[in-house]
Structure 1
Amino acid sequence: MRILVATDAWHPQVNGVVRTLTMMAEAAKGFGVDVSFLTPESFRTVGLPSYADLRVAIPSRRKIARLIDEARPDNIHIATEGPIGFSARAYCRRRNIPFTTSFHTRFPEYISARFPIPESWVWAGLRRFHGASSAVMAATPALASELRDRGFRNVVLWPRGVDANLFHPRQVDLGKPKPIFLSVGRVAVEKNLEAFLDLDLPGTKVVVGDGPARAALEAKYPEALFTGALQGEALAVAYASADVFVFPSKTDTYGLVLLEALASGVPVAAFPVTGPKDVIGASPVGVLSDDLRQACLKSLEISPQDCLSFAAGHTWEASARAFVSNISHVRAEIAARAPSAAKHPRFAA
């Protein structure tokens, strides 16, 4: 099976969407599925306002069509609601080709935090975008339920995984006062980092990541250590150096970093919101509380072994199989309703 994923989020961006797509594709190879990508690398890009380091593609209708035709996919999946996602959606709609989508980012909250645009307007646009999809993939049951409540149709689950070969415990000494409280992610207003950095905690606060708010936060919190963006082994070492992973965001749909921390034997302190609640639930691997300071301090008492055991149940192979299964199920349903569709040379689901 050949699956083409259209995505506006791609390297050199460092975020959960890019890691999810690349790890899923690598795992899918193991059971004979070829996942290729339609990304900004094929187009001219421009920087986003207030996010100059995040660049978006300017795709042409003709080039999108040519690249998809050349890929000759059996299935098309649209991962993001950006220019490439909209262009791939338009291609499929013009040709009456079914496609699937996934919901990764809570744009209504992000956009409303920067511009005077009501969240309800953004949700309406997202419903329209995903409304033509044969299946909308959501990372957690709570997110899937929320999307259904908001009027999204055909919502299915696509869980996430973690690379335990990269993220695992090891002896690391940062040379800073302990305990180490770590946060990893984009340094931007929607990540709510000030809720972490304002806390009165012992030891050292470490922030791994980059973004438009970094300079201002470094100036405001000189006692914290800001490392900038890290990847691969350097990122894994940063996780292993921590005693508690602090996740102050209230808007993430999942929080892949939570699994990466747990696989490193590091417990989680977070607010009791969608994302942390879905990943951790009632498992004894973190503390979810509206009092984030108390959550941080109580997390110091959690067993690293419990964190490792929990993370072991989340693999990228299982994630990739769920992704492919969703697509195969949609394809089978469409073929059952209209057998001639399955013989269409550009059939996708």
Structure 2
Amino acid sequence: MRLIISGGGTGGHIYPAVTIAREVARLSGNCEILFVGTKHGLESDIVPKEGFAFATIEVRGLERRLSWQNIRTLCNTAGSVWNSIKIIKRFKPDVVIGTGGYVCGPVLLAASLLKVPTMIQEQNVIPGITNKILARFVDKIAVGYKEAEQYFTRYKPDQLIFTGNPIRPEVMSAGRDEGQRALGLDPNKLTLLVVGGSRGARSINNAMFEVYKHFSGSPHIQILHVTGQNEYNSIVSNIKQAGIDISSGGNIIIEPYLYNMPLALAAADLGIFRAGAVGLAELTARGIPSILIPYPYAAENHQEFNARALERHGAATVIADKELTGSKLIATIESLVENPAILSTMAEKSRESGRPQAAEVIARLALCLIKLQSNNKR
């Protein structure tokens, strides 16, 4: 079989696409995969490194206001649809899947016009503008949150499926003991994992200074803080200038980036995270309770909606970015770790919210679309 998959702009669109593609390949046994993106998006770097064939189209996202640039973008979109048609005719896919980002628009629209089976995967509670438009044309809509269904009410019931968000298989296969050994963590201490994303989150990193002071040397809690590459040097420098000696405490580890994040998740007892869909999918798949600080400038404020959905399920507690201080973060951490019953209940609710088999469910939907198309042609 042949699969075209498209998603770009951010890792939140690209990594789910990679995970879905690998799962389709595993289930089908013999699959040729083509990833379609742009030359300028992160996908142009990530996808070839993941070993997939990569084709590009020229397309830009719409601004969220009326502008002449939007008019030019819409005119250029016609050309990108035509280029997508040419790619699809040349590759002859059996199914086309989009995971979000403006690059998906022309690709999925072209596939729909050519009567190729299509599916979009929406990771967030609040759907992106591209997926809202594409939902009118595609055969299946796979949503990562049950709450997202309310934004697709105009579509057929059998078109919309709650699948959860796909995660890397390593997230589930990593072992707790293995993670503790690899990261130098004490198995007798509660592990607090702090991650603001690959680029870091300055508000979280700044709040962590007081957290370092408060918990340094604690016999019960250890902290693994991933600052992000861009923030690491300034964080380490500021720690020294502030006279905070974390090395003597022996319970605080600060890293710019972790290539073995699945091992860190396996070892974690409590997470402090932003509220991107991929990170939350991994937290809940592992059943990790969390303190979430949504990124306030995310499109449509979707991180806030993602975080509140988990909070309503009892899996997380949310601190608004504008309300985040070191003292508030310390108080929230202590309110959880000093009440093991609450933390245990949150972990259970987190696990209930997780969908570790989401990638397989989405891949099987894709294979069913191919089978249905084949049967209709007979």
TM-score band w.r.t. shorter chain: 0.5 to 0.7
The alignment covers a number of residue pairs equal to: 305
Q: Is the 8 A contact 2:23 2:360 kept in 1?
A: yes
SS for the counterpart of 2:173 is coil
Task: Report deviation, 1:148.
Answer: 3.2
Instruction: Describe the shift of the 1:140–1:35 C-alpha distance in structure 2 as closer, same or farther (beyond 3 A).
Output: farther
Instruction: Describe the shift of the 1:181–1:131 C-alpha distance in structure 2 as closer, same or farther (beyond 3 A).
Output: same
d(CA) in 1 for partners of 2:333, 2:208: 12
Higher helix share: 2
Deviations 1:66-125 (A, max 9, x none): 543444322111122233x233134225435452212236899xxxxxxxxxxxxxx656
Partner of 1:288: 317
Partner of 1:325: 365
Deviations 1:242-294 (A, max 9, x none): 442112x25648722313653xxx542336954355557646xx542546544
Partner of 1:168: 175
Partner of 2:325: none
What amino acid maps onto 2:284 in structure 1? L
Decide which of 28, 31, 43 is 1:32's aligned counterpart.
Answer: 28
Partner of 2:298: none
Task: Report deviation, 1:328.
Answer: 3.0
Q: Is the 8 A contact 1:183 1:207 kept in 2?
A: yes
Q: Is the 8 A contact 1:3 1:33 kept in 2?
A: no
Partner of 1:228: 256
Decide which of 147, 161, 184 is 2:195's aligned counterpart.
Answer: 184
Partner of 1:21: 17
Q: Is the 8 A contact 1:169 1:240 kept in 2?
A: yes
d(CA) in 1 for partners of 2:98, 2:335: 41
What amino acid maps onto 2:20 in structure 1? M
Matched, 1:157 2:175: no
Instruction: Describe the shift of the 1:74–1:98 C-alpha distance in structure 2 as closer, same or farther (beyond 3 A).
Output: closer
Decide which of 306, 309, 321 is 1:275's aligned counterpart.
Answer: 306
Deviations 1:300-329 (A, max 9, x none): 354898859975995654541245337736
Which ranges of structure 2 fall in alignment gaps of 5 or more residues? Answer: 48-53, 59-79, 217-221, 245-251, 295-303, 320-327
Q: Is the 8 A contact 1:81 1:129 kept in 2?
A: no
d(CA) in 1 for partners of 2:143, 2:279: 9
Structure number, greater radius of gyration: 2
d(CA) in 1 for partners of 2:123, 2:2: 22
Instruction: Describe the shift of the 1:23–1:35 C-alpha distance in structure 2 as closer, same or farther (beyond 3 A).
Output: farther
Q: Between the two proteins, what is the percent identity of the paired residues?
A: 11
TM-score (norm 2): 0.58
> Please, what is the CA RMSD of the aligned residues?
5.0
Decide which of 131, 135, 138 is 2:136's aligned counterpart.
Answer: 131
d(CA) in 1 for partners of 2:355, 2:334: 29
Task: Report deviation, 1:139.
Answer: 0.3
Partner of 1:342: 376
Deviations 1:132-154 (A, max 9, x none): 33333210101333x237x7885
d(CA) in 1 for partners of 2:34, 2:376: 23
Q: How does 1:209-248 map to 2 (within 5 A)?
A: 210=228, 226-231=254-259, 234-247=260-273
Instruction: Describe the shift of the 1:91–1:197 C-alpha distance in structure 2 as closer, same or farther (beyond 3 A).
Output: same
SS for the counterpart of 1:39 is strand
Partner of 1:143: 148
d(CA) in 2 for partners of 1:27, 1:126: 22
Q: Is the 8 A contact 2:8 2:14 kept in 1?
A: no
Q: Is the 8 A contact 1:196 1:246 kept in 2?
A: no
SS for the counterpart of 2:108 is helix
Q: How does 1:63-142 map to 2 (within 5 A)?
A: 64-83=84-103, 85-104=104-123, 127-142=132-147
d(CA) in 2 for partners of 1:267, 1:250: 13
Partner of 2:297: none
d(CA) in 2 for partners of 1:105, 1:190: 20
Partner of 1:257: 282
* Range moving further from structure 2, 291-300 or 307-316: 307-316
d(CA) in 1 for partners of 2:31, 2:161: 20
d(CA) in 1 for partners of 2:268, 2:329: 17
d(CA) in 2 for partners of 1:255, 1:270: 9
TM-score (norm 1): 0.62
Task: Report deviation, 1:19.
Answer: 4.0
Which ranges of structure 1 fall in alignment gaps of 5 or more residues? Answer: 109-122, 345-349
Instruction: Describe the shift of the 1:82–1:277 C-alpha distance in structure 2 as closer, same or farther (beyond 3 A).
Output: same
Q: Is the 8 A contact 1:45 1:58 kept in 2?
A: yes
